[in-house]
Amino acid sequence: MLKRRRTKKIRIGNIFIGGNAPIVVQSMTNTDTADVKATVRQIKALEKAGCEMIRVAVPNIEAAKAIGKIKKQINIPLVADIHFSAELAIEAINQGIDKLRINPGNIGSEEKIKAVVEAAKKKNIPIRIGVNAGSLEKDLIEKYKGKVTAKAMVESAMRHIKILERHNFKNILISLKASDIERTVEAYRLLSEQVNYPLHIGVTEAGTSFRGTVMSSIGLGILLYDGIGDTLRVSLTADPIEEMKVAWEILKSLGLRKRGITVTSCPTCGRTQVDLIGLAKKVEDALVGIDKDIHVAVMGCVVNGPGEAREADLAIIGGKGVGLITKKGDIIKQVSEDKLIKEFLKEVRKFN
């Protein structure tokens, strides 16, 4: 088990982030927040896929006023993404939001910042300071000679932290996101040495499903292996459901969280006498929605299959027209290829 950096523990709705709490998986809706029906429908689907906290964009008063209606119909904490407007932040708090995502320095005058902070304090609402490389303050860009460096991002975060702390507000989370791995990792490493607030990690604008999965897996994997990160979002230009799949696989791969069945499969080679790619895909698809903490293996030949299968709770070993099903390395069935998936699923459902 990887050793995680211990941070301050913060309550958000019905969950905790930081301290000894599990790393929380979150996402963001892509619906019009004012469209309550569509937004709730998407959140429900994300809940089912493993989302534990959800953020919505609040660009106008209609979106802010929809928060209360949305909250009544979902089961996970709701986060309001606010830019520039103290009025929208306060309305989101009044509507029962569980967390705000703002940059205090962008809210306006000291009086407006204080109004937001006091409203958040009254209802114990945490604030995430979200620093993004694409919207760094101009004076910091000038200070770092026209470059948005990791140090500049950290300085921006510390600036916003001090604004909140000046108002005696310490119910804080922080994110430092860039669209490249190097700056993202460096920024989080630097900040983690200076504060003990919980960190929301992610690589922003990571790309489409393929590239974004690679970028996020590397960037988040490095940080998590370093023990950095209390909650994460995989940012993909795709259906948010895809973000859930990638996020959970990252956490499962590092042994940090467990959810659902883990499927491993061998690469194809000239020895295989079965459509291994098709078989592995059928197994993966058939197991969607079965929430059992078990390890399943799909093997393509008798050379490495039996040995690798010993590492799995259940395994399929494909052959020419037939396949073996093993349990903890022991062969329990030999069945024809056309019945292999059906018989395997029977064993999965029986497995305790």
Contact between 18 and 7 under an 8 Å Cβ cutoff? The reply is yes
Tell me the whole-structure pTM to 2 decimals.
0.89
Output the pLDDT for position 276. Answer: 84
Residues 203 and 74 in one domain: yes
Contact between 78 and 56 under an 8 Å Cβ cutoff? The reply is yes
* pLDDT tens-place string over residues 230-266: 999 999 999 999 999 999 999 999 999 988 888 888 8
Here the CATH number for the domain that contains residue 54 is 3.20.20.20
Residues 337 and 196 in one domain: no
List, edge to edge, every strand of the sheet that includes 172-177. 172-177, 127-132, 99-102, 78-81, 53-57, 24-28, 231-232, 200-201
1 located within any domain: no
223 located within any domain: yes
Which residue, of 223, 253, 283, is where some domain finishes?
Answer: 253
5 located within any domain: no
Residue whose C-alpha is closest to residue 92's, from 138, 53, 59:
59
Residues 34 and 183 in one domain: yes
Residues 148 and 79 in one domain: yes
Q: What does the alpha-carbon distance between residue 97 and residue 125 come to, in Å, rounded to a whole number? A: 8
Q: How many domains does the chain have?
A: 2
17 located within any domain: yes
Output the pLDDT for position 56. Answer: 97
User: How many Cα atoms within 13 Å fall on the side-chain side of residue 126?
Assistant: 27
Which residue, of 220, 236, 253, is where some domain finishes?
Answer: 253
Count the residues in the chain: 352
Residues 149 and 174 in one domain: yes
Output the pLDDT for position 278. Answer: 86
4 located within any domain: no
Residues 241 and 319 in one domain: no
Percent of the chain with pLDDT over 90: 59
Residues 109 and 203 in one domain: yes
The helix (run of H) or strand (run of E) holding residue 131 is strand 127-132
Look up residue 281 and give its two tokens: 């895909």
Residues 169 and 93 in one domain: yes
Q: What does the alpha-carbon distance between residue 96 and residue 84 come to, in Å, rounded to a whole number? A: 20
Which residue, of 253, 287, 308, is where some domain finishes?
Answer: 253
Residues 116 and 30 in one domain: yes
2 located within any domain: no
Q: What does the alpha-carbon distance between residue 228 and residue 3 come to, in Å, rounded to a whole number? A: 9
> What is the domain extent for residue 137?
10-253
Residues 182 and 303 in one domain: no
Output the pLDDT for position 302. Answer: 64
Q: Measured between alpha carbons, how far is residue 182 from residues 178, 203, 212 in Å?
A: 9, 10, 15
Contact between 156 and 136 under an 8 Å Cβ cutoff? The reply is yes
Residues 273 and 133 in one domain: no
Residues 183 and 315 in one domain: no
208 located within any domain: yes
Here the CATH number for the domain that contains residue 325 is 3.30.413.10
Q: What does the alpha-carbon distance between residue 176 and residue 156 come to, in Å, rounded to a whole number? A: 9
Residue whose token pair is 């407007």 = 85
191 located within any domain: yes
pLDDT along the chain (352 residues), means of 10: 90 96 96 97 95 96 97 97 91 96 78 91 94 85 90 93 93 92 95 96 86 94 97 94 94 89 82 81 83 86 70 85 86 87 88 81
